[in-house]
Structures are given as C-alpha cells and as structure tokens.
C-alpha cells in the first residue's frame, strides 16, 4: 500500500465527559475512495469531521491522539490552510444564497484570487469537474437556490474543488437525493478519485460496496463510544469480513 | 354509535368555521381602526391643505400661528436631521450588538446581555428624556460653540440613538440567528475565517431581516415625541450651523414634527388645529416613504441575488 494521504493514530474524541470516538487508528490511502459505514450514532460523521477539524466548532469537544495529513499533524497546521487542503461536502446540499458563479468563486476569492480571467477559468474547470457545467453554463448568474437538489449537491462539490484540495470529505452526500441524482454523484466520484483522495460516510451499504475501494466499519461499544471494528479493501470487507460483527452488520442482522 | 361520531364531526366543523370567522373579525377590526385613524387625521387636516396649500405647508419655514403662518419645513428638517443623527450614532452600535450576540458571544454571555438590551426597550421614553436633560444636555453644553445651550439636535440624536438601539439590535440579531447553520459550516469548511463567513455569507443572507430592523428603528425615531420635546429645545427655527464647521448644525435647537403636535395641540383651534393634523399627515407620509424605500432597496437586492 502506498504512503497514506491521511492517517489517524489513537484518535479519541470527547463531548465534555462523553467519549464519542474510542482510539481509532486508520489510514486513508491516496487517490482512493474510502467509505465509512456503521449504524446511526456510531460516530461516522464525527470521525469524518475530524479530518478537517470541523468538530472544533462545537463547544466542549476535546480530542486526543493524532491526525496526520501527508505526515504532518493537522493540529499544528493553521486551520484555514488545513481546510483548503481538506474540503468537505455536506449531507444536505448547502449552496450559499448567491449566484452559481459566486458560489464556486467563493473559496478562491477568500483565498485571494481576484483576477477576472483566471477566476472565470477556475469556475469553469471546477463546474466541469463536478459534471455540472453543461447544465448551467448558459446562466452562471442564476441563483444557486434555483437548481435541483442533485445539481445543488454537484455545485457544492464544484465549490469544494475550486479551492483545489487534496482530500474531499463527503458526509452522506447523496442521502437527500433521488436515485438518479445519486447515480450521477456516484459516477462523479469515480472520475474525481483520479485527482483527489475521497472519504465518504454513508449509511447505504450498497453504495459503499459500489463506489469505494476501502471500507471502514464503525460500531459503538457498551459505553456508546464509536470504535473501528474493521478496515480493509471494500471487496474483502463485503465478502470475507474478519470480524463477526462486520458480517452481522453487512448481512443486515442489525443497524 | 355512528350517529354520535358524525354529530361530533359536525360540531368540530362548526367550531372550525366559527374560529375562522372570529379570526377574520379581529383582522378586519385592526385594519378598520388603522383606516379610521388615517381618514380622521386626513379629514381634520383638510382645511389646512385647502386654506394654506400643500406647497406652502411643506416648504414654508415660518410657523407663527398668531399670524396664521404655517410652514412645516423647519420641523421636517428637525425630524429628518435628528433621525439621521440617531442612525449615524446608533446603527453601528446596534448592529455591532446584534452581530456580537448572534455570532460571537458564548451562550452564557448572551443570556445576560440580551435581556439587558431588551430591558432598554421597556424603559418609558420620558425616562430617556430625563436622562438626556440631566446627563447629556450638560455634557453637550460643554462644547465651546457660540449659542450652544446643550438643548438641540445632538442631545436629541444621542437620546434617540439609545432608544432605537434595542429595537434594531434585537430584530437584527433574530435575522442573523435565522441564517441556516449549514451556510456557516459550508463557508468555514472552505477555509474561510469566522469574520469572512460573517461578512460574505451570514450578513448577506440576513440582509432582508437586518433592513427590516433598520426600518423599524427609523420608524421609532421619527415617531418619538416626549423625549425629543425634553432635549431638543423646541424652537421653531431652521437648524443652522453656528460656525464654518457644518457639523455645528447639530448644536442648533430644533423642533420635531411630533413635538410640534404635542406642544401646541392643547390650545390650538381652527386653522391652527388643522395645521397640526396636517403635521400628523406629513409624519405619516414620511414613515410611509421610509417603508417604501426599504422595500424597493430589498427588491433590488433580491434581483442582484
């Protein structure tokens, strides 16, 4: 296996006194899609948000252990530059109430790109990479809120791509979408992984099996803390899981 | 058995439509009251518009009821200037408060600060006037400009700024807090700082609510009466700068439209009384202009996306 793009070592997360994630050590391989699956409340989203330090927005959150990006401790990085390198797409499409263009240009602008030409080119490139360009190119000044849910989610992907990240975190990106829009997102993921490392949380096991290269299975223990039960190539997890709990979960016996 | 059920169903439907009627009734009563007040004011003001003329009423700078001179321009200028002053002094403070409460303050600080700001709104305006007379007027009197007595537009603007603060701050705070958390998270996840997120996403998304807050504040400022009477000096005169510095216009004494009515209505008769009702109509129109321009501003902002 190549050098991991990101890595967690003995990572624990606490909400006040409650331990939500228990000592997770896991590698995120580069230019692959890593899926995180598990039942509701097992800490999948919390774990995902650890990679770009979004949990810090919640008061009372404390972490121990390490999270590395290209070998560097992300807690020693400036949070702004970390989030430039590790982008995020949320469960519900959340375009800003601005035009399509302004949504995609938002990140580049705050990071100092002002020139009209290169900005327009970057917006076009990002929208193309998110497979949305052909549907919106005629009117980039249209409000982003007038797009369909699936288009909005691809716009959010384009918005994340526009800051040229290395890693993209996706928190159940298709759970609010219809099957056709979901399929489009899943196809898009396959082209994106050529250039990006993708970590995706999903409650949909078929989706994890379809799209991902590696799968991590999280489960809460008796104290309701999320533990990493098993991590490996998706094919192996879904055909010959080593842990009986993984087998129970993927065969639908609980969760 | 079925009989009782359907009887109960009929009863429910009856209650439903009765409730609808009651609610419709209360809505109609409110609208009617507003209409009646407007019509009554207009009717009482009619002789003034007829005998003095709209143009002389609006542009005349002399108000001498003894000589049947009724020009409202000085009072219009007084009301507009004092409101302007209050906005200049109060708006940054109020919006700062709103942003602090909605975006920066931890929960326990908000729990303390927010009720105290709202408490300001509950203080009777005569108490604000008293505070102005006893504290602000002597302070303003300290500014060394010829003819400055402390009573005037500056003192009045300061009092008014404090009075509109709670209105603007709390409405703007609600507007900011109603911006979906997803917007903030989306912006932060793109590497924006909290300040950039506030400036580029949260405030623009809360724009309409914040504008509504300002309009409410303007309305309150234009309508304030007793506190103004107590500190503005009440002289019927065009506010003017005392020195070459144009800002000294705010040290000038003045009278507001509201003050004009309240000070004189007790002894006014005939045309004088009608002119005071006309003052009310002008005030009414002024507030409608503020509301309409806010609406227009909002609409053009919407179109820009």
pLDDT number for residue A1: 62
For chain A, what are the domain ranges?
6-250
pLDDT number for residue B64: 94
The verdict on A46 touching B (C-beta cutoff 8 Å) is: no
Contact B191, A106 (CB under 8 A): no
Contacts of B62 (CB under 8 A, 6+ apart): B69, B71
pLDDT number for residue B10: 87
In this complex, which of B182, B196, B200 lies closest to A94 when CB atoms are compared? B182
Tokens of B84: 């302007």
Asked whether residue A116 carries a pLDDT value surpassing 80, the answer given is no
| Cα–Cα separations (whole angstroms), residue A41 to A15, A89, A212, B175, B233 | 13, 19, 21, 32, 67
Tokens of B159: 């009092």
Are residues B200 and A80, on separate chains, in Cβ contact within 8 Å? no
If you compute the radius of gyration of chain A from its CA atoms, what whole number of angstroms results? 18
pLDDT number for residue B6: 78
pLDDT number for residue B3: 56
- Label residue B301 by pLDDT band (50, 70, 90): low
- Label residue B176 by pLDDT band (50, 70, 90): very high
The verdict on A17 touching B (C-beta cutoff 8 Å) is: no
Per residue in A143-180, pLDDT tens? 999 999 999 999 999 999 999 999 999 999 998 889 99
Are residues A80 and B205, on separate chains, in Cβ contact within 8 Å? no
What is the residue-averaged pLDDT of chain A?
A: 93
Looking at the structure, give the CATH architecture of the domain made up of residues B55-304. Orthogonal Bundle (1.10)
Are residues B305 and A81, on separate chains, in Cβ contact within 8 Å? no
- Closest-CA distance of chain A to residue B108, Å: 12
Question: What integer is the mean pLDDT of A213-229?
Answer: 93
pLDDT number for residue B304: 47
- Partner B, chain A 122-161, Cβ-Cβ below 8 Å: 141-143, 156, 159-160
Q: In what order do the strands lie in the sheet with A72-73?
A: A72-73, A61-69, A6-15, A18-28, A226-233, A214-220, A33-37, A197-201, A167-171, A86-89
Cα A99 from Cα A127, distance rounded (Å): 13
Categorise residue A224: left if φ over 0, alpha if ψ from -120 to 50, beta otherwise.
left
pLDDT number for residue B282: 95
Residues of B with CB under 8 A from a CB of A: 106-107, 180, 182-183, 185-193, 196, 200-201, 204-205, 305
- Label residue B177 by pLDDT band (50, 70, 90): very high
What is the residue-averaged pLDDT of chain B?
A: 92
pLDDT number for residue B289: 92
List the end-to-end C-alpha distance of chain A, in Å, as a whole number.
31
Contact B217, B87 (CB under 8 A): yes
**For residues B297 and A77, which has the higher predicted lDDT (pLDDT)?**
A77
Contacts of A49 (CB under 8 A, 6+ apart): A55, A88, A169, A171
Which residue from A minimizes the CA distance to B301? A98
- Closest-CA distance of chain A to residue B107, Å: 10
pLDDT number for residue B12: 86
Are residues B185 and A160, on separate chains, in Cβ contact within 8 Å? no
- Closest-CA distance of chain B to residue A225, Å: 25
Q: A6-250: CATH homologous superfamily? A: P-loop containing nucleotide triphosphate hydrolases (3.40.50.300)
In this complex, which of A59, A90, A111 lies closest to B186 when CB atoms are compared? A90
Asked whether residue B1 carries a pLDDT value surpassing 60, the answer given is no
CB pairs under 8 A between A and B: 69
Are residues B186 and A52, on separate chains, in Cβ contact within 8 Å? no
In this complex, which of B185, B193, B200 lies closest to A90 when CB atoms are compared? B185
Contact B275, B57 (CB under 8 A): yes
| Chain B residues touching A96 at Cβ < 8 A | 183, 186-187, 201, 205
Closest CA to A188 of A154, A151, A220, A146: A154
Hey, how many other C-beta atoms are within 10 angstroms of the C-beta on A174?
25
If you compute the radius of gyration of chain B from its CA atoms, what whole number of angstroms results? 24
For chain B, what are the domain ranges?
2-51, 55-304
Hey, how many other C-beta atoms are within 10 angstroms of the C-beta on B244?
6
- Label residue B2 by pLDDT band (50, 70, 90): low
Are residues B193 and A81, on separate chains, in Cβ contact within 8 Å? no
Question: What angle is formed at CA A98 by the lines to CA A92 and CA A100, rounded to 5 degrees?
Answer: 80
- Label residue B302 by pLDDT band (50, 70, 90): low
**Tokens 């065009």 map to which residue?**
B238
In this complex, which of B182, B188, B190 lies closest to A57 when CB atoms are compared? B188
Asked whether residue A255 carries a pLDDT value surpassing 70, the answer given is no
Question: What integer is the mean pLDDT of A55-79?
Answer: 93
Q: Which ipTM was obtained for this model?
A: 0.92
Cα B93 from Cα B202, distance rounded (Å): 18
Are residues B189 and A87, on separate chains, in Cβ contact within 8 Å? yes
Question: E-assigned strands of B110-162?
Answer: none
Asked whether residue A253 carries a pLDDT value surpassing 70, the answer given is yes
Asked whether residue B305 carries a pLDDT value surpassing 50, the answer given is no
The verdict on A27 touching B (C-beta cutoff 8 Å) is: no
Are residues B185 and A156, on separate chains, in Cβ contact within 8 Å? no
Give per-residue burial for B203-218: e unless 16+ CB within 10 Å, then b: bbbbbebbbbbbbbbb
| Chain A residues touching B196 at Cβ < 8 A | 110
**Tokens 């059920």 map to which residue?**
B5
- Label residue A113 by pLDDT band (50, 70, 90): confident
| Chain A residues touching B178 at Cβ < 8 A | none
pLDDT number for residue B5: 65
- Closest-CA distance of chain A to residue B192, Å: 7
The verdict on A90 touching B (C-beta cutoff 8 Å) is: yes
The verdict on A60 touching B (C-beta cutoff 8 Å) is: no
Closest CA to B247 of B174, B140, B121, B171: B140
Per residue in B10-63, pLDDT tens? 888 888 889 999 999 999 999 999 999 999 999 999 999 999 999 999 999 999
């Amino acid at each position: 296996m190549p050098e991991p793009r990101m890595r967690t070592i003995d990572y624990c997360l606490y909400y006040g006194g409650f331990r939500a994630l228990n000592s997770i050590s896991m590698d995120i391989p580069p230019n692959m899609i890593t899926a995180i699956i598990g039942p509701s409340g097992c800490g999948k989203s919390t774990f995902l948000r650890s990679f770009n330090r979004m949990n810090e927005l919640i008061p009372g959150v404390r972490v121990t252990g390490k999270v590395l990006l290209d070998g560097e401790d992300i807690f020693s990085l400036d949070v702004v530059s970390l989030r430039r390198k590790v982008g995020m797409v949320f469960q519900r499409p959340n375009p800003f109430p601005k035009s399509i263009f302004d949504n995609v240009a938002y990140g580049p602008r705050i990071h100092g790109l002002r020139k009209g030409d290169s900005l327009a080119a970057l917006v076009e490139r990002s929208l193309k990479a998110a497979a949305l360009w052909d549907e919106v190119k005629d009117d980039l000044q249209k409000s982003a809120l007038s797009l369909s849910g699936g288009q909005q989610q691809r716009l959010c992907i384009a918005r994340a791509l526009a800051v040229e990240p290395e890693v993209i975190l996706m928190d159940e990106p298709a759970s609010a979408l219809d099957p056709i829009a979901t399929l489009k997102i899943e196809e898009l993921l396959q082209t994106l992984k050529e250039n990006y490392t993708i970590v995706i949380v999903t409650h949909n096991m078929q989706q994890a099996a379809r799209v991902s290269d590696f799968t991590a299975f999280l489960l809460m223990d008796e104290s309701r803390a999320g533990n990493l039960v098993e991590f490996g190539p998706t094919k192996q997890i879904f055909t010959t899981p080593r842990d009986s709990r993984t087998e129970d979960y993927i065969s639908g016996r609980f969760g | 058995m079925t009989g009782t059920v359907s009887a109960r169903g009929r009863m429910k439907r009856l209650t439903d439509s009765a409730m609808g009627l009651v609610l419709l009734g209360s809505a109609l009563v409110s609208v009617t009251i507003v209409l009646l007040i407007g019509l009554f004011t207009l009717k009482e003001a009619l002789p003034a518009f007829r005998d003095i003329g709209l143009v002389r009423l609006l542009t005349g700078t002399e108000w001498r009821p003894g000589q049947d001179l009724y020009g409202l321009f000085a009072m219009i200028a007084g009301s507009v200037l004092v409101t302007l002053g209050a906005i200049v002094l109060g708006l940054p403070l109020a919006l700062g408060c709103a942003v602090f409460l909605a975006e920066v303050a931890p929960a326990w600080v908000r729990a303390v600060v927010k009720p105290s700001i709202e408490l300001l709104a509950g203080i009777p305006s005569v108490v604000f006037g008293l505070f102005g007379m006893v504290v602000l007027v002597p302070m303003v009197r300290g500014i060394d400009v010829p003819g400055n007595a402390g009573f005037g537009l500056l003192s009045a603007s300061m009092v008014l700024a404090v009075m509109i603060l709670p209105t603007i701050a709390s409405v703007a705070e609600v507007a900011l807090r109603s911006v979906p958390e997803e917007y903030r998270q989306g912006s932060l996840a793109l590497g924006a700082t909290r300040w950039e997120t506030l400036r580029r996403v949260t405030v623009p998304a809360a724009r309409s609510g914040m504008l509504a807050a300002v309009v409410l504040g303007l309305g309150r400022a234009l309508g304030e009466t007793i506190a103004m009477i107590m500190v503005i000096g009440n002289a019927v005169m065009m506010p003017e700068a005392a020195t070459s510095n144009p800002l000294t216009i705010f040290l000038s004494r003045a009278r507001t439209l509201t003050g004009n009515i309240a000070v004189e209505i007790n002894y006014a008769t005939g045309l004088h009384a009608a002119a005071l009702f006309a003052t009310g109509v002008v005030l009414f129109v002024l507030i409608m202009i503020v509301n309409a321009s806010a609406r227009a501003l909002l609409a053009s902002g919407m179109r820009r996306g």
